[in-house]
Structure 1
Amino acid sequence: MIGSMIGGAVGLDFSPMVPWWVIGTLAAVGFALVIYTALMRGRGGLWRSLALLVLLAALANPYLIAEDRDPRDDVAVLLLDESTSQSIDDRSVRASEITEDLMRRLDALGDLDVRTVTVGGGSGRAAGGRDGTRLFTALRDVLDDVPQGRLAGVIAVTDGQSHDRVEELGGRELGAPLHVILTGRKGERDRRLVIEHVPSFGVVGRTVTAKIRIEDADRTAAVPFSMSIDGVPRPDAVIRANQVVEIEIPIEHGGETIVEMMAGPGPDELTEKNNRAVLAINGVRDRLRVLLVSGAPHAGERTWRDLLKADPSVDLVHFTILRPPEKQDGTPVRELSLIAFPVRELFELKLDEFDLIIFDQYQRRGVLPRSYLRNIVEFVRNGGAFLEASGPPFASRLSLANTPLGEVLPAMPTGDIVEQPFRPATTPDGHRHPVTADLPGGPVLDADGAETAPPTWGRWFRQIEADVLRGVVLMEGAEGRPLLILDRFGEGRVAHLLTDQMWLWTRGFDGGGPQAEILRRTAHWLMREPDLEENDLRVRVKGDRIDVTRRSLDGELPDVTMTLPDGTELTLPLTRTGPGRGQASFTTDQVGLHGFTDGVLTKLAAVGALNPVEFSDVRTTGEWLGPLAQQTGGSVTWGAEEDTPSLRRVRAGRATSGRDWAGLVRNEDYIVTGVQTVPLLPGVLVLLLVIGGIIMAWRREAG
């Protein structure tokens, strides 16, 4: 480049008419002749040399290039951290003041394209999401749209807490300084509760161990600690700060167990939000152990066995008494089963290891002493489950109702057996109970729960007549007699099926019916499956939407009161969606633990990240952005204690920061909008110069 002008530049270039090696060869030969002539003291050599130079220059074909250039403004990136941690200790106010000051100074520079990027702006989930504040990711995204040669610098207004790392830049070098202005104060202190480890699930009936640590600047502080499980407070404790402590958490039911932990506030708290942690531990049941005792072989015996064997979560122990004692063949009572019946081991030593005991058409035969039957009563009273599938023996004098087990059973036989065709039907309570509601082929109901069409199930032909003492009748048979009864006894549960004809559905007689589904639901209700609870308040979270479902056996659906994480209480009226079922939906803009109650039932649900990363550490720091600022020649300023640095434009290669100023590189980038070319040696001029040189040389020699 040999010159420049306003808005453009001029340069010299060549477009040779022949290859450069030809021009070089001609130049060498010509200059050799010129030197020879000079040595021989020939006259006119100078003019010949000039003619030769003009000819060689013409062959090189030089021309001038004039570029029209459009200067491009440099880009300055203003990275603003508006995450929720910026609301602590007036940081947001300070950040707004710093930002306004920077915008005025950037506008005063005049030749900058200022691009503002907001990180973690908004409220609720957006500000306190699972990923926290991601400054490097935001910076990478904006740099992808900025040409490398136009970046003047990056100014970040933040508390310095970034939950991603410099690796998110993908190896890209800024090529411009990063200036960081921190909105907090030096030496901030804050107490926080740290979850070191917590299992994601636990076995119902056992405990899980969570490891926690309370981090505090006072290394030996004694910190008050409280905990609640599913909203029920547990005894308070005192924990030594900065030590890992193991907390035992009992898992008492299937589904989510919500555990809320709280550490007492410290003397110099920035926020108490990170003194609190919420854990959601999913309760799962271990393989359920079921004891099935069949009193005698019958057509429906395999129905229970096949059902329980098909469930992979069930361990089944099944005994069948094959020979009745009335056969007078001298066989001892204890040898009436195919193998020795280990009555003492099952009903005394290991009874508590079972979750469910099923008696299928069992009657008093002397096989089980009364003391063992009393053990079953205590087993149910203390939380076990019992199911009686009654056949004709239940109506006889050998009925289980005449044993200690009669205390557990919800119905007593009248002594009559009804033998006539009938179609099983669900009762009004059965329409509302999840064990029998919405069964395949069941009755068609209107919005109020009244039947508009009967069930299409096949017929049965035998039913044991009994008087209901307590419990809920879910199905009825001939002439409205009770057929399936569920009851609670002490801490346990009882089911009573008053027929031995369910096997007809298994074989598809008269169209069959949902026998497998009824028996499966009954067994799982007995074993406390949460989805089969008849009086239940259930909350499901999908993103920021909350669906509240209330199931009521009596059909009453009171409004639900919801308590938001900030303490606000809202009333959610339920819309009836079926018999004994109501639902409400709500879209929340808050992250954290939401509480629900209808005055009787209480439920907790966590929305978003249980323990937001955003509040894991809220102390202002230059640990994450400082190294990159130093590497790029930038600066770190504590905005709460120092003035906002003045801004300067500096040329590439110069210092880009000082004690009270921050530099933005002047890149002088441009785009070429047009090009003009002007030949330096037009053909006519070359001809005149060559001929003139030859004439002058001839005259010199002739003179």
Structure 2
Amino acid sequence: MIGQDIAFAPLIPWHALMPLALLAVLIAGYGLYRRARGGWWRLGGLLVLILALSNPSLVTEKREPIKDVAVVVIDQSPSQKIGDRTARTEKAAAAIQEKLSRFADLEVRVVRAGGGTAGDAEVEETRLMEAMTRAVSDVPRGRLAGAILITDGQVHDVASTLPSLADFGPVHALLTGEKDEGDRRLTIVQAPSFGIVGKDITFTIRIDDLPAAAAGEVASVTLRQDGQDPIGMAVPVGQEVPITLPLNHGGLNIVELTAEAGRRELTLANNRAAVVVNGVRDRLRVLLVSGEPHAGERTWRNLLKADPAVDLVHFTILRPPEKNDGTPIRELSLIAFPIRELFEMKLSEFDLIIFDRYKKRGVINNMYLANIAEYVERGGAFLEASGPTFATPMSLYRSPIGTILPAEPTGRVLEEPFKPTVTEVGKRHPVTAGLTDAVDGVGPWGRWMRQIDVTADKGATVMSGAEGRPLLILNRVGQGRVAQLASDHFWLWSRGYEGGGPQAELLRRLAHWLMKEPELEENDLRTAVDGSRITITRRSLEPDTRPVTVTSPADQATQVEMRDSGTGQSVGTLIASEPGIWRVSDGEKSAVAVVGAVNPPELADVRSTPDPLQPALKATGGGHYWLEGDGSSVPVIRRVRPDRDAAGSGWLGLRGNGDHVVTGVTQTPLLPALPVLLLAMGMLVLAWRREGRG
């Protein structure tokens, strides 16, 4: 490529040459004005001298053209997987690249965006514009020819990147979907992030049939809370509908909602939504009844009072009523024991009831003890810490409470030192798992000195003591739970005897298990999400490596193998391929995992439309085009000048900048010195002779 131009390199500086040239022209002009003979020859000679002094030359440049850069952005976001969009996209991409390869002055860069793993921001939102500008960040704006986006039009970063599109070149969009598509979507309009356990939560949903719903349309919605049995309900389309549900437990509560397919449906992925509410307990109400004063009585009180979330009601029976010395019963305590209020009227208000070394003494009659047993059957929590009298006929086991206790006394009291030991079952039970890493289950803690011998014919014995006899037994009774501790020397750990022990952690876990906290369930199926990785954990008291079935938001089922860890858990992992709600089931229990945003913008509207891209297309002079058939028929591509239109019917234009680099320069003088001097002198001589003849 050759480029030519005329350059001047004056023999004397321009600031000296210009006044001389002006003076010569004035003198010659004055002569012409006076009609002097030879005036034109004199003017010609002076002009030739001035031109010679300006030293003009022909500059010839050898130019190497620089290719313009065009970027093709291929949308691989989840909404592109609907229908034939993916196949149409690949056909169009191949056709576009083939057409662009015909332009020798064009460098083409192909970028694929939105195809990250589930949980990534670029999957939750389609960010094509960022990918486009990032692909040419190293290219000067003077070399940009423009961009072609192959997408369904659902792009979420147009507004944020619009200021950076100045001088970018025309941006065009090839739309992979069909015109006038319709879809139904379920949206969470408002939902709380946390709630109080035992109270109701209210959230608002909305179902829309896009682009418009028929008047009076009603959709069926299925609601499932924490994987429980589904609940059906009818929801009017196009209206915000509040839904109220009880918050049953602490930790994450997941409410999954599914709307039936609409009349026009692109995908069911946005017919599902989830509400994730963190359940917190307002206050934990505990009733502690100590049957008699003893060295460990205050241990229970101190441990419970140390938790600011615990409201403790504590009564100690100081003197039995059978000890008759004439003192009125109303004067046996500073505050009369409100037996009827506690065990009949307000019993259901307590989250946990603890009986510490209590024995049948007539203070709490059998009717009220039967109320406690019924309270547990209905879902309450009860902890019994046994003392020596548990082995006597005065044992609490010989009362209506005995129907819910998992262990029966043998009548023996073992008065010998022993270290509490975590049993094989206890190593798998969440209440005691991990309390010690020792193979034999004995941790680096102090000894206890007394244990009541019991026979555990129900529940799970998670700790044993003297002679390997049951020490801590856990059992489910009806809808409630019971724990039985066959020793009254728990307090030795609190006093730090022989180094103490994990009494605070054990009591915390025990209380949470009794109150059905999900993280302490011994037979449970749970999920945890880290980015795109779903970790599935099954808790069981027996090794269980059965595979689980994981169902994706697109209703594709996958079997995941489980590996037993030896600590009461079997674990499996899966890399999620798309955001949304993943359902996990082992045939008996089920759980859900929410990957990425709970309700990602990517699924808010999956219809193919140019509307989100219009601001960028308008700002850069580009246009949008619908792909038809298999996508191989794409618009004609032209190179256009920067000041010309870049979009038209059936064609799109990419800017031709004509940029280049100079690889060599040749200068050729246009006025050789000797010929020019002779020409000037000849013209001046002719002017002199002309004047002489006059």
Task: Report SS of the residue matched to 1:167.
Answer: helix
Task: Report SS of the residue matched to 2:257.
Answer: strand
8 Å CA contact 2:114, 2:123 repeated in 1? no
Alpha-carbon distance between aligned partners in 2 of 1:194 and 1:544, rounded to the nearest angstrom: 23
| Shift in alpha-carbon separation, 1:378–1:23, aligned structure 2, 3 A | same
AA aligned opposite 2:226: D
TM-fit CA distance, 1:39: 10
| Shift in alpha-carbon separation, 1:66–1:594, aligned structure 2, 3 A | same
What is the aligned partner in structure 1 of residue 649 from structure 2?
A: 659
| Shift in alpha-carbon separation, 1:367–1:54, aligned structure 2, 3 A | farther
Q: How does 1:455-466 map to 2 (within 5 A)?
A: 455-466=443-454
Task: Report SS of the residue matched to 2:82.
Answer: helix
TM-score, structure 1 normalization: 0.85
Task: Report SS of the residue matched to 2:234.
Answer: strand
Selected match of 2:534 from 535, 541, 546: 546
Selected match of 2:223 from 227, 251, 273: 227
TM-fit CA distance, 1:679: 6.6
Whether 2:544 is the aligned partner of 1:557: answer yes
AA aligned opposite 2:240: V
8 Å CA contact 1:418, 1:462 repeated in 2? yes
Q: How does 1:216-615 map to 2 (within 5 A)?
A: 216=209, 217=212, 218-322=214-318, 330-396=326-392, 398-440=394-436, 444-445=438-439, 451=440, 454-553=442-541, 555-565=542-552, 569-615=557-603
8 Å CA contact 1:559, 1:572 repeated in 2? no
| Shift in alpha-carbon separation, 1:61–1:330, aligned structure 2, 3 A | farther
TM-fit CA distance, 1:604: 2.9
8 Å CA contact 1:129, 1:608 repeated in 2? no
Alpha-carbon distance between aligned partners in 1 of 2:591 and 2:234, rounded to the nearest angstrom: 28
Task: Report SS of the residue matched to 2:73.
Answer: strand
TM-fit CA distance, 1:162: 1.4
Alpha-carbon distance between aligned partners in 2 of 1:212 and 1:563, rounded to the nearest angstrom: 26
Task: Report SS of the residue matched to 2:299.
Answer: helix
What is the count of residue pairs matched by the alignment?
687
What is the aligned partner in structure 2 of residue 3 from structure 1?
A: none
Alpha-carbon distance between aligned partners in 1 of 2:577 and 2:671, rounded to the nearest angstrom: 77
Moved more, 38-47 or 235-244: 38-47
Whether 2:183 is the aligned partner of 1:190: answer yes
Whether 2:628 is the aligned partner of 1:633: answer no
What is the aligned partner in structure 1 of residue 152 from structure 2?
A: 159
TM-fit CA distance, 1:383: 0.9
Q: How does 1:97-108 map to 2 (within 5 A)?
A: 97-108=91-102
Whether 2:82 is the aligned partner of 1:88: answer yes
| Shift in alpha-carbon separation, 1:126–1:308, aligned structure 2, 3 A | closer
Moved more, 150-159 or 352-361: 150-159
Whether 2:660 is the aligned partner of 1:670: answer yes
Write out per-residue CA displacement over residues 53-92 of structure 1, whole angstroms, 9 at most, x where no aligned residue: 7887788676654433211222233233333333434233
Unaligned runs of 5+ residues in structure 1 are 1-5, 446-450
Selected match of 2:72 from 75, 78, 81: 78
8 Å CA contact 2:119, 2:579 repeated in 1? no
Moved more, 637-646 or 57-66: 57-66
Task: Report SS of the residue matched to 1:292.
Answer: strand
8 Å CA contact 1:544, 1:608 repeated in 2? yes
What is the aligned partner in structure 1 of residue 4 from structure 2?
A: 9
8 Å CA contact 2:551, 2:584 repeated in 1? no
TM-fit CA distance, 1:13: 4.2
TM-fit CA distance, 1:623: 0.9
Write out per-residue CA displacement over residues 150-174 of structure 1, whole angstroms, 9 at most, x where no aligned residue: 2233223322221222332444324
TM-fit CA distance, 1:687: 9.0
AA aligned opposite 2:591: K
Write out per-residue CA displacement over residues 110-168 of structure 1, whole angstroms, 9 at most, x where no aligned residue: 4322222223348x739996423222222222342332222233223322221222332
| Shift in alpha-carbon separation, 1:438–1:395, aligned structure 2, 3 A | same
| Shift in alpha-carbon separation, 1:15–1:395, aligned structure 2, 3 A | farther
TM-score, structure 2 normalization: 0.86
What is the aligned partner in structure 2 of residue 448 from structure 1?
A: none
8 Å CA contact 1:83, 1:127 repeated in 2? no
Write out per-residue CA displacement over residues 9-42 of structure 1, whole angstroms, 9 at most, x where no aligned residue: 3242447755x55555666677778889999999
8 Å CA contact 1:376, 1:405 repeated in 2? yes
8 Å CA contact 2:582, 2:593 repeated in 1? yes
Moved more, 31-40 or 674-683: 31-40
TM-fit CA distance, 1:590: 4.9
Moved more, 348-357 or 93-102: 93-102
TM-fit CA distance, 1:500: 1.9
What is the aligned partner in structure 1 of residue 640 from structure 2?
A: 650
| Shift in alpha-carbon separation, 1:515–1:672, aligned structure 2, 3 A | same
8 Å CA contact 2:123, 2:578 repeated in 1? no
TM-fit CA distance, 1:691: 9.3
Alpha-carbon distance between aligned partners in 1 of 2:71 and 2:110, rounded to the nearest angstrom: 6
AA aligned opposite 1:136: M
| Shift in alpha-carbon separation, 1:82–1:417, aligned structure 2, 3 A | closer
Task: Report SS of the residue matched to 1:432.
Answer: coil
TM-fit CA distance, 1:419: 2.0
Alpha-carbon distance between aligned partners in 2 of 1:579 and 1:102, rounded to the nearest angstrom: 57
TM-fit CA distance, 1:644: 3.7
Task: Report SS of the residue matched to 2:483.
Answer: strand
Alpha-carbon distance between aligned partners in 2 of 1:130 and 1:332, rounded to the nearest angstrom: 76
Task: Report SS of the residue matched to 2:646.
Answer: coil
AA aligned opposite 1:403: S
Moved more, 421-430 or 367-376: 367-376
